[in-house]
Amino acid sequence: LYLTVAAAAAVVDPVGLNTVLREAVTQHPDIRARRDEKQAAVDRLDAARWGRFPGLSAEVETRSGGPQSVLRLEQPLWNGGRISSQIDVSQAQLGVAGATLSETQLDILQRSGGAFFDILRLEQRLKTALANEAEHLRLVEIIQRRVAAEVSPSTDETQAAARWRHAIPERMQPIRPIHPPRFLLT
């Protein structure tokens, strides 16, 4: 029973493209950093908007007659457009942060999709190479039996063995993607 449970736990479900893309968009460090930058831009915009409200300040001074408290509520009547311009700058920075986030998400999605399909292509290439090697080995065994029965010449056995030996390195070749990946998913 233990071995059955362990074997069932060892089987890994294949990961689909939707899962890969979802994880890339939510977990990639570049996207997390861009989201944080966008949130910082939202916070700066909120802070800039607070410039339109009156400011409250408190001071405590000690003079020879004892402590004196001062509470001020200040609202500038005119500040030369500094508050409005700061709000406009903050809104522009928020737009830039949003565009940067979208651009980063698109880039990560493209690279993740490309890497996913490279993996599928390479897995299929490995399966094909293994099937090719197995078929050549089967052919060698058939020809060896025919040569042993003196039905085929020994040159056929030599050729079949050479083709089988040629199929082995195809399986063991270093795997090179069509487009070299520019990143590794983390």
pLDDT 10s digit of each residue in the chain, 186 long?
444 444 444 444 567 888 888 888 888 999 999 999 999 999 999 999 998 888 888 888 777 767 788 888 888 777 888 889 999 999 999 999 999 999 999 999 999 888 888 888 888 888 888 898 899 899 989 989 888 988 888 888 888 888 888 888 777 766 555 554 444 444
Q: What is the pLDDT of residue 35?
A: 95
Residues 54 and 36: their CA atoms lie apart, in Å, by 29
Q: For residue 185, with 0-12 CB atoms within 10 Å meaning exposed, 13-18 middle and 19 or more buried, which class applies? A: middle
- Report yes or no: 166 and 135 within 8 Å, Cβ to Cβ: no
Q: What is the pLDDT of residue 180?
A: 44
Non-local (6+) Cβ contacts of 38 within 8 A are 94, 97, 98, 100, 101
Q: What is the pLDDT of residue 151?
A: 85
DSSP, collapsed to helix, strand or coil, labels residue 53 as coil
Strand partners, 55: 74
Q: What is the pLDDT of residue 20?
A: 84
Q: Which residues of 108-134 are buried (b: 16+ CB within 10 A; e: fewer)?
A: bbebbebbbebeeeeeeeeeebeebbe
pTM (whole model) above 0.85: no
Q: What is the pLDDT of residue 41?
A: 96
- Report yes or no: 115 and 185 within 8 Å, Cβ to Cβ: yes
Q: What is the pLDDT of residue 49?
A: 92
Residue 55 host element (H or E): strand 55-63
Q: What is the pLDDT of residue 29?
A: 92
Q: For residue 98, how far is the Cα from the chain centroid? A: 19
